[in-house]
Structure 1
Amino acid sequence: MSATDHCQACGACCAHFRVSFYWGESDAHPGGSVPRHLTVPITPYHSAMRGTERTPSRCVALAGDVGRQVGCTIYPLRSSTCREFEAGTAECDKARAAYGLMPLGVGVPA
C-alpha cells in the first residue's frame, strides 16, 4: 500500500494538527493557491486552515471519515505545510494514535 493509499484511508493529520503557513500562500496574493475564504489569520505573517485553529481540530477542506476514507477538497491548492507532511513519520503516527489508529512507522513506500 502506498503512502497516498494510507492517507486516503486516514486523514488524522488533517484532523489533529493546526495547518499554518505563510499568508502569501493564499490566493489573495500573486502566486498563492490556498483559497483565502478557507483560512484564518493567526499572526501578522501566518494563516491557518479554518477549523485547525481550534481544539478539537479538523481542516474545513477534509471530506470523509477519519480512519475510514477521506480526501482533501482542495488537494491541488493545498499549502506547503500539507505538501511537506509525510506518511509514516513520528508526527503522522502521533495523529493516528489520537484517533486510535495503528502507527504506520517510518519508511512507508511512496
Structure 2
Amino acid sequence: METYNPCLDCGICCTHFRISFYWAEADDAPGGFVPADMTEQLTPHLRCMKGSNSIPRRCSALAGTVGEKVWCTIYENRPTPCREFPVYFDDGQPNPKCDELRARIGLPALLPQAPADSAAA
C-alpha cells in the first residue's frame, strides 16, 4: 500500500534552505552520488546545490510548481541534507519547521502519524 507523501505537493524546503554538503558527495569524487554539474563550490570542503545559494532560492533539482505538484529530479542521488530533513519525527509528530514553511505557501499543517516503530506492528 502506497502512503501519502506531503512533499510531493509542497517543495517549499527546496526554495528556502541553502542545501550545502561535504564536497565528496558529488559524483566527481570517488564514491560520490550527487550530480556535480548541479552543484557549486562554496569552500574547499563544501558544495551546495545550484540555485540554493542565492535569493530567491530554488534548488536546481526541483521540478514542478511549489505548493501544487513537485518532485526531485535526482531523488535517489540527493545530498545528505535532503535525506536528513524529516517531515515527521520518529514519534510520528510533524517537523514544526516543515509546518512553518508549508504555512507560508498556504498549505495546511501536517497531522501526526503513527510512530515509525509501530508501523510494522
TM above 0.5, yes or no, is: yes
Q: Which has the larger radius of gyration?
A: 2
| Contact 1:12 1:95 (C-alpha < 8 Å) held by counterparts | yes
% identity of equivalent residues: 47
1:108–1:13 distance in 2 versus 1, CA, 3 Å: farther
Shift of 1:56: 1.1
> Could you tell me which residue of structure 1 aligns to residue 83 of structure 2?
83
- After superposition, the CA RMSD in angstroms is 1.9
CA distance in 2, matches of 1:12, 1:91: 11
Looking at both structures, which has the greater relative contact order when contacts are Cα pairs under 8 Å and sequence separation is at least 6?
1
CA distance in 1, matches of 2:14, 2:50: 11
TM-score, normalised by the number of residues in structure 2: 0.80
Structure 1 unaligned blocks of 5 or more: none
| Contact 1:25 1:31 (C-alpha < 8 Å) held by counterparts | yes
- 1:17 matched to 2:17: yes
Count of aligned residue pairs for this structure pair:
108
| Contact 1:17 1:95 (C-alpha < 8 Å) held by counterparts | no
Structure 2 unaligned blocks of 5 or more: 88-93, 117-121
TM-score, normalised by the number of residues in structure 1: 0.87
